[in-house]
Amino acid sequence: MIPNEGTVPPQGWICTTVGKAFELVGGGTPPTEHSEYWKGSIPWITSADIDERGNITPHEKITEEAIAASATNRVPAGSIIVVTRVGLGKVGIAREDLCYNQDCQALLFNSKLLDPSFVALQLRQAVSIFKHIGRGTTISGVTKRQLSNVEFLLAPTPEQHRIVAEMEKQFTRLDSGVVALIRAQVRLKKHRSSLLKAACEGSLVANEAYLARTQARDYESGEPLLTRILNERRLKWGRKTEYKEPAALGRSSVAGLPTGWTLASVEMLSALVQYGTSAKTGEVGEIPVLRMGNIVDGRLLCDKLKYLPVSHDEFPELLLSPGDVLFNRTNSAELVGKTAVYHGNPSPCSFASYLIRIRMAEGYLPDFLAYYLNSVFGRAWIASVVSQQVGQANVNASKLQALVVPVPPLAEQHRIVAEVERQLSIIDKLQSSVVTDLNRAECLRRSILKQAFEGNLVPQDPNDESAAVLLERIRSSKAVAPRRPAPQTSGIGKRKSILPEATGEICKA
């Protein structure tokens, strides 16, 4: 934890700054027009090669000539790499000699006096400070001087090692629990997918034809149900346009469907298919407008709502009715097509233009259509018809109306929906519990770090050399270390290497 002004360091510690404890070295990018520069053996990283946990994975390698011709620097293993621009605040330990771009600064130090993990763990807590002092109109960043002035708590060297050992032990246990929770999330996601698949292929509940046979009764199968839906759709057509018969399915076959099921297009089963409003919404207003971000895992999350005034000229035409299916027509390739049913809350309510409203004809349950669209069957269909437009995937209303879906007997639809909702409620509760435990784990991680840098994680040893003496040794070590020569040029705009081989104890891991 980086100290606030007036904080008293733990006994034997001292509050200093990054610039007093470390030598800061910036980076750069070799000229990209020289392709031969990128065929070397020296790892070169950008901020994207450092993850949020500080792991560094180089993806590029450069030559010695590339280093000489640019502002990048080669630093030895054990150096701390701090991201000061794009990816602001990420901190990692170089596990090998490497170079880096201009979004990073390297901290060089004597690893016999400072534990690299102690340095990296503490500096990672400076993320919040970086966010506040970052500047720049398009890319937030901090300068070398600003990083140099960040406060740093220096502990006696033996205590640094004890703190790191204890944190690694506690973090190992914590990480093990987090891995188990993430695996549970994956299993729940797979179970949700399997549940929807079973619902849509007729293996989740007892088949209506089977029940009717065993109970010696009649039942309405999918074929007469579809005929009834089409007849009622025609009779109740209340729109201004002339009624047009839905397109026939052509050579569709019911082979492979459960007994009593049939097939139909969304157009056959729907009374209305409509795009939402393109009007600009605001933070205030009387009518909430659901957007694509409100559809999550097949549910409507009614938070972060935008609004339109009740006097908006598209109302009441674009007000939702309970049972309306909302289909996300434009999004990323992974999210386009996500679907949920509006069940009447909030009310009144409208929907945005990136959503398509489908109002089902009587006899086909809207939840069953939503299950199909969110299932593996729906995802496969979306992948087969999606079009790409400026980085966004799109499925328009015409394609949606042409989608062919199974039509179970109505009684079986009701049983399927009831069972899916029962099991989804259990999955939702388990997922919520997992998320809560993951949040607790992150809070515990922060608590461990806080205790560590308040001097309360491990016992202190009065025989340890004080941090004040240690700081003087660090300064002396910096004073006798080989100095980096000023940049030299060779030809127009060409740089020679500005970082000689490290000698002595500086930066050795």
Residue 142 — very low, low, confident or very high, per pLDDT cuts 50/70/90?
Answer: confident
Tell me: the pLDDT tens digits for 293-320? Answer: 999 999 999 989 999 999 999 999 999 9
Average pLDDT over all residues of the chain: 90
Residue 68 — very low, low, confident or very high, per pLDDT cuts 50/70/90?
Answer: very high
Residue 240 — very low, low, confident or very high, per pLDDT cuts 50/70/90?
Answer: confident
Cα–Cα distance measured from residue 302 to residue 283, given in angstroms and rounded to the nearest whole number: 14
Residue 166's H or E segment, with its range, is: helix 157-201
Domain regions of the chain by residue span: 14-156+465-480, 220-238+256-408
Residue 2 in this model has a pLDDT that exceeds 70: no
Residue 382 in this model has a pLDDT that exceeds 90: yes
> Looking at residue 86, what is its pLDDT?
86
3-state secondary structure of 363: coil
Residue 413 in this model has a pLDDT that exceeds 70: yes
pTM recorded for the entire structure = 0.81
Exposed (0-12), middle (13-18) or buried (19+): which is 90, by Cβ within 10 Å?
Answer: buried
> Looking at residue 139, what is its pLDDT?
60
Answer yes or no: same fold for 14-156+465-480 and 220-238+256-408: yes
Residue 482 in this model has a pLDDT that exceeds 50: no
Residue 95 in this model has a pLDDT that exceeds 60: yes
> Looking at residue 55, what is its pLDDT?
94
Residue 137 — very low, low, confident or very high, per pLDDT cuts 50/70/90?
Answer: low
> Looking at residue 483, what is its pLDDT?
46
Strand stretches in 332-486, DSSP E: 339-341, 350-351, 355-360, 387-389, 392-394, 404-407
Mean pLDDT of 80-102: 93
Would you give the distance in Å from CA 185 to the centre of its chain?
Answer: 14
Angle between helices 376-385 and 366-374 (to 10 degrees): 70
| Residue with more model confidence, 242 or 106 | 106
In the chain, the percentage of residues whose pLDDT exceeds 90 is: 79
Cα–Cα distance measured from residue 338 to residue 331, given in angstroms and rounded to the nearest whole number: 9
Residue 509 in this model has a pLDDT that exceeds 80: no
| Residue with more model confidence, 133 or 22 | 22
> Looking at residue 500, what is its pLDDT?
37
Cα–Cα distance measured from residue 440 to residue 298, given in angstroms and rounded to the nearest whole number: 26
Amino acid of residue 354 = Y
Amino acid of residue 41 = S
Tell me: the pLDDT tens digits for 315-338? Answer: 999 999 999 999 999 999 999 999
Residue 109 — very low, low, confident or very high, per pLDDT cuts 50/70/90?
Answer: very high
Domain at 220-238+256-408, CATH class: alpha beta
> Looking at residue 505, what is its pLDDT?
34
> Looking at residue 133, what is its pLDDT?
65
Residue 125 — very low, low, confident or very high, per pLDDT cuts 50/70/90?
Answer: confident
Tell me: the pLDDT tens digits for 253-293? Answer: 556 899 999 999 999 999 999 999 999 999 999 999 999 99
> Looking at residue 131, what is its pLDDT?
65
> Looking at residue 132, what is its pLDDT?
64
Residue 127 in this model has a pLDDT that exceeds 70: no
CATH code of 14-156+465-480, in short, is: 3.90.220.20
> Looking at residue 255, what is its pLDDT?
63
In the chain, the percentage of residues whose pLDDT exceeds 70 is: 89
For residue 64, the 8-state DSSP code is: H
Scored b (16 or more CB within 10 A) or e, 336-360 reads bbbbbbbeeeeeebbbbbbbbbbeb
